[in-house]
Amino acid sequence: MSITAPALTAEQLKTVLQHALDQHAHKEGNLLPLLHSIQDQLRYIPAAIVPLLSAAINRSRAEIHGVISFYTHFRTHPPAPVLLELCRAESCQARGANGLIAQVKEQLGCDFHQTSADGQVSLEPVYCLGLCSQGPAAMINGNPVAHLNLQTLNQQLQEKGAQS
């Protein structure tokens, strides 16, 4: 399931892009920081901003699309209200993450890079949160949570407004 976001106006896109450029224009090799800034502001990178970015930094649209599609962190569609990123790094796996991931996928009825049937939770993999001794770990809307099991994760999701 994909979430439909309200269409952004050209003026809104220009404002988002200008904010990103103000932060990173002085940096060499600034494409990745610019894309991160755009996604941080909008929670995804809309296709309509790519031509504006292309013109602003004198890079081809193909190059920008290539970077967006190469890195799995970048989203081209808005996530659900709750973005759940489950750690798949080796230390979290050693602490039971694979079992938790299977339970979460079953409960949400979706796989990684998908959204739950109720449209409330987008599920994404992440490959290290730096909470290695506290796994399994996750990020919920950008906030790290550790020592997870299905019960504690459900409590965290309910606090963020998602139904479990």
**Separation of alpha carbons 152 and 154, rounded Å:** 5
- Locate the DSSP E strands across 13-66: none
Dihedral Cα 141, 99, 95, 144, nearest 10 deg: 0
Find out whether 92 is annotated in a ligand binding site: yes
Do the Cβ atoms of 97 and 136 come closer than 8 Å? Answer: yes
Find out whether 110 is annotated in a ligand binding site: no
- Which residues, at least 6 apart from 149, have a Cβ–Cβ distance to it below 8 Å? 96, 100, 136
**Separation of alpha carbons 69 and 86, rounded Å:** 20
Find out whether 132 is annotated in a ligand binding site: yes
Binding residues are 87, 92, 128, 132
Binding residues for [2Fe-2S] cluster are 87, 92, 128, 132
